[in-house]
């Protein structure tokens, strides 16, 4: 039977300050014990004081056996083989980044494991010669698999991978030869699994936040013109939308499959918006540079906008009440 157990990444242990996905295995008197899912389930520990910044009344409300969640690495003991972790130091942004990376890595791992199983290959050997070189070259093997999925000639990517083998020549001298990392049959199996198991890529949402003001008599019209200039900077691939949160705060967004292109388009939109509003003696300040945002970010923004709208409605009601009171006084 081929070995089908292996960590997802080349490093045997995560780096300090890295946020990793864990699963809670047991809860003791002072520590909870977890398995680091991306590192072949090596053991990690989290002290109860690292669960929350607030006073802990009930451990069970903060951590439960079987639950999967991101935690930050505080210390790594490579000799003893365990990792100290923290939950309270993980930010909302860290959580989403960790979840996205883990989901992609899990997808890659599933494909690699399936190929190793069906072709009776050693999973770690497959990672050494295929998976981890793709991680190094493309940032994440998932990105390489996406290219292979859509490429009519996937060999253009896989044929760049090689391995060294030692052979004994006719003279009895051992020589080292460089050969393809995969022979034709395993390579075909990998391509087939990638094309069959990779899900369609979802577009990324890129967002930036600005503040814009114009105190001229017709400042509102100039702001609207600046918004139109920003949206005109978009294109069919990366359309730009600009919305008011609450004056003077605005957000610019675009959907794209290319992160760098999306960020570039939003930067151009901000530049066009800035030039237009400054032409009319207005001012634009970038409060949040263009970045990829997640569903939780959208939820937070929606809650913020709803809160602003509710506050505006309350102000309008108060104004109406004051006008009615004035009318009664006049009568």
Name the class of domain 204-293. Answer: alpha beta
19-90 shares its CATH topology with 204-293: no
Residue range 231-251: mean pLDDT, rounded: 91
CATH number for the domain whose boundaries are 100-197? 1.10.150.190
Q: What is the pLDDT of residue 329?
A: 42
Q: Which comes out higher in pLDDT, residue 172 or 157?
A: 157
What residue segments make up the domains of the chain, in order of their start? 19-90, 100-197, 204-293
Q: How far is CA 83 from CA 21, 59, 73, 88, 102, in A?
A: 12, 20, 7, 16, 18
CB atoms within 10 A of CB 86: 18
Residue range 109-128: mean pLDDT, rounded: 96
Q: Per residue in 273-317, pLDDT tens?
A: 999 999 999 999 999 999 988 766 666 666 666 666 666 555 554
Structure tokens at 330: 């006049």
Structure tokens at 53: 């910044």
Residues with Cβ within 8 Å of residue 30, at least 6 apart in sequence:
47, 48
Do the Cβ atoms of 3 and 123 come closer than 8 Å? yes
Instruction: Give the three-state DSSP class for 120.
Output: coil
| 19-90 CATH, one of 1.10.443.10, 2.40.30.10, 2.40.50.140, 1.10.10.10 | 2.40.50.140
Q: Would you call 185 exposed, middle or buried from its count of C-beta atoms within 10 A (0-12, 13-18, 19+)? A: exposed
Q: What is the pLDDT of residue 120?
A: 94
Position 328 pLDDT exceeds 80: no
Q: Would you call 210 exposed, middle or buried from its count of C-beta atoms within 10 A (0-12, 13-18, 19+)? A: buried
């Amino acid at each position: 039977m081929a070995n089908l157990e292996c960590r997802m990444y080349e490093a045997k242990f995560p780096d300090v300050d890295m946020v990793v996905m864990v699963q809670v295995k047991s809860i003791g008197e002072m520590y909870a014990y977890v398995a680091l899912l991306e590192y072949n389930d090596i053991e990690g520990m989290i002290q109860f004081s690292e669960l929350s910044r607030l006073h802990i009344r009930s451990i069970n409300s903060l951590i439960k056996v079987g639950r999967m969640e991101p935690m930050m690495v505080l210390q790594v003991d490579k000799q003893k083989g365990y990792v100290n972790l923290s939950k309270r130091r993980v930010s909302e942004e860290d959580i989403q980044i960790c979840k996205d990376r883990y989901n992609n890595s899990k997808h890659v791992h599933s494909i690699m494991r399936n190929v190793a199983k069906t072709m009776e290959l050693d999973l770690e050997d497959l990672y050494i010669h295929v998976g981890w070189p793709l991680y190094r070259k493309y940032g994440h093997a998932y990105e390489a698999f996406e290219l292979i999925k859509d490429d009519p000639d996937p060999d253009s990517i896989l044929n760049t991978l090689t391995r060294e083998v030692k052979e004994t020549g006719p003279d009895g001298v051992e020589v080292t030869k460089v050969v393809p990392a995969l022979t034709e049959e395993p390579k075909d199996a990998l391509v087939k699994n990638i094309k069959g198991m990779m899900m369609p890529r979802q577009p990324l949402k890129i967002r930036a936040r600005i503040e814009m003001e114009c105190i001229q008599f017709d400042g509102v019209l100039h702001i609207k013109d600046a918004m139109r200039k920003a949206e005109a900077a978009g294109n069919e691939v990366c359309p730009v939308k600009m919305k008011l949160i609450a004056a003077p705060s605005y957000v610019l967004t675009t959907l794209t499959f290319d992160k760098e292109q999306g960020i570039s388009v939003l930067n151009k939109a901000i530049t066009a918006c800035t030039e237009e509003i400054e032409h009319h003696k207005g001012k634009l300040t970038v409060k949040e540079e263009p970045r990829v945002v997640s569903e939780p970010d959208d939820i937070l923004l929606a809650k913020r906008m709803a809160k602003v709208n509710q506050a505006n409605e309350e102000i309008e009601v108060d104004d109406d009440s004051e006008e009615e009171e004035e009318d009664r006084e006049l009568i």
